[in-house]
Structure 1
Amino acid sequence: MIHPLARAGLCLLLAAGPALAQDEPAQDQQLMIDPAFSDDPDAVVPAEPSAAERQRAAEAARGPETARGNGAELRGLDKVTGRTQDFSLAVGESVQFGRLRLDLAECRYPASDPSSDAYAELTITDSQANARLFAGWMIASSPALSALDDPRYDVWVISCNRA
């Protein structure tokens, strides 16, 4: 059995251990103060971006301008049989692929480089279970980013059909 005084000493040592292990904060890790609220007369307040700079930043964040296609080329893979099948769908059209029904709502592509990418808005429904498996945009250059999650079938976008 441990003596009560020894027990108290061990408890104090365990409680103070983390506090003793901390280092003093370095000079460069000090709290940064906004120059607008500083008493230092040499502090510089950062300038607000101009309206033109904000507009350019908003356009850069928006991404490339897109054009609307009149249809899309899709490819389906049946993972059980290993067979692939290509589909050419017009906007608003549906096609059956195994137990899946593929509905194309829209297809868009970059206006500056039409062959570089394609974005298709699809709804994929399981006809047997009467359940929607996918609804949204699929991107040709990043099929894993927005993919159909089905144990048997894979579907992805190849390109948009241009008018």
Structure 2
Amino acid sequence: MKKALVLLGAMAFAGTAATQAAAQSFSEAEGAVLRWLDTLTGRTGDLELSRGQAANNGRLTIQLDSCRYMADNPAAEAEAHLTILDSSREQPVFSGWMLASAPALSAMEHPRYDVWVLRCIVPGYKPPEVTDVPEENDEATDEGAGE
């Protein structure tokens, strides 16, 4: 019986240690890059916010409360805590964590606007640049059509 209790205690300690180790793998960022979309006009843009900073976009006020990233791989995941207000409503339209890798998991429900997290701002880390994809050459499919 004592062996079972000791084993159970050791397993509980190991589980707690693993949870703490997993929690320690995330670091707090200085800020975040967010993207917004106005679905009515089709306009979109990026916002770079520092922790605690807010920005206005149309009727929305978007405040970054926190941004965390995986310490060993900043490109792997970003999670930001946002508070988003709409000037036409009393209560926030969103207050919670958004994940960059799964924006639909915790999305803002708004009839006009969409906001999502792109990445955390990490000192010394430069995200990979997105290169333009060359358009396909339609001339190749038209060869021999006039023969």
The answer, yes or no, to whether TM exceeds 0.5 is yes
How many pairs align? 120
Q: Determine whether 1:105 maps to 2:69.
A: no
Unpaired runs of 5+ in structure 2? Answer: 124-147
The runs of at least 4 consecutive aligned structure 1 residues that moved more than 6 Å come to: none
Partner of 2:144: none
Q: Secondary structure at the match of 1:124?
A: strand
Q: Determine whether 1:67 maps to 2:27.
A: yes
Return the alpha-carbon distance in structure 2 between the equivalents of residues 113 and 150 of structure 1.
32
Q: Identify the match of residue 129 of structure 1 among 61, 69, 89.
A: 89
Shift of 1:97: 1.4
Q: Deviations over 1:83-138 (max 9, x none)?
A: 21100000111001111100111111111211101111110000122331011111
Return the alpha-carbon distance in structure 2 between the equivalents of residues 59 and 118 of structure 1.
23
Q: If you compute each CA radius of gyration, which structure gives the higher value, 1 or 2?
A: 1
Root-mean-square deviation (CA), in Å?
2.2
Q: Determine whether 1:89 maps to 2:79.
A: no
Q: Deviations over 1:15-61 (max 9, x none)?
A: xxxxxxxxxxxxxxxxxxxxx9xxxxxxxxx9453544323323444
Q: Identify the match of residue 57 of structure 1 among 6, 11, 15.
A: 15
Return the alpha-carbon distance in structure 1 between the equivalents of residues 41 and 13 of structure 2.
52
Unpaired runs of 5+ in structure 1? Answer: 1-35, 37-45
Higher relative contact order (CA 8 A, sep 6+): 2
| Structure-2-length-normalised TM-score | 0.72
Q: Deviations over 1:58-87 (max 9, x none)?
A: 344464521010000000011112221100
Which amino acid is the alignment partner of residue 124 of structure 1?
Answer: I
Which amino acid is the alignment partner of residue 56 of structure 1?
Answer: A
Which sits farther off after the overlay, 48-57 or 104-113?
48-57
Return the alpha-carbon distance in structure 1 between the equivalents of residues 19 and 56 of structure 2.
37
Partner of 2:137: none
Q: Secondary structure at the match of 2:109?
A: coil
Return the alpha-carbon distance in structure 2 between the equivalents of residues 154 and 140 of structure 1.
14
Q: Secondary structure at the match of 1:57?
A: helix
Q: Secondary structure at the match of 1:129?
A: coil
